[in-house]
Structure 1
Amino acid sequence: MTDPKNLSEAEWRERLTPEQFHVLREKGTERAFAGKYDQNKAEGEYRCAGCGQILFESDDKFDSGSGWPSFTEPAEQSAVAEHRDTSHGMIRTEVTCSNCEGHLGHVFPDGPGPHGLRYCINSLALEFEPED
C-alpha cells in the first residue's frame, strides 16, 4: 500500500470528494453548523477521511457550541500533529493527521476536561465508525 504522504495531488483528488480535498489538502474550513458530525451523539471512532487512521473517540467528544465537532483529546496523542498557524492574521495551533498530514482543524485552550483543550475539527476531515 502506498504511503499516504507520497500520494500526488491527482491521487488525492481521486480519493477524496472536492470538499474533502479542500479541507484536508488545501487547509480549508467547512461552514459552522454545516458538518455532518457536529451533532453526532453515537458511540464510536472518528477516523481520518484521508487515510483511515483513528483520530478521536466519541467518549472525548463534547458540544462546544462552535458549530464543529469538538474533542477534549485525540484517541492517541501520536494520531495528530500540531503546527503553528499564523494565517488570517491570527496565531493558532493547526491540527493535522500524523499519518497523511491532512488538515483537520485547530486546537484551542478553552475546552473542558483535565487538559482544558478543544480540538475543533472539520466533519469533512472525518469518517465516523459506529461501535458494534
Structure 2
Amino acid sequence: MIDTSLKVYSLLLLALVSVLPGSVFATEYIYRDLIGNTLPPQKCAARTEAEAAASEEYNLKKHARIFCESQGYGWHVEQRKSAGKVICEECGEGGGGDRDRFHCHLEDVVVQCKRIKPGSVGLIPGQG
C-alpha cells in the first residue's frame, strides 16, 4: 500500500511539473551591439609585426570583453560580429632608423553583448 501511494504521488508530481509553462524556467536576455576601437600598443614594431599583433585573437577577445564590461554590471560578450579593420600609424620621428616602425590597432570592431533581463529570474526583491 505504501509503495502504490508513493508511486501515485510521484506520478502526480511529474504531471504537475510537465504542465507548468516552459517560460517559468527560461532566462531572458537583453542584447546590445557595440562598435569600438582597440588601443595601439606602446611599443613600435615593423609593419607586419604590428598588424599581426593588432589582429591577434587574444587582443580581440580582451577588447571585446572590455567593451561589454564598460556597459555596466552583468554585461558579457555574446559574440564578435566583426573584427574591424587594421589601422597603422607611423611612430618614427626625425631621420632615425625608426621610420619603418608602426603602431597598429583595430577600428570598428562590432561586438554583441548580453545581460540577464531584470525580473526574468527573480531579481526584483519581494517577487517570486
Aligning the two structures, in what range does the TM-score lie when normalised by the shorter sequence? Answer: under 0.3
Q: TM-score, normalized by length of structure 2?
A: 0.21
Higher Cα Rg: structure 1 or 2? 2
Q: TM-score, normalized by length of structure 1?
A: 0.21
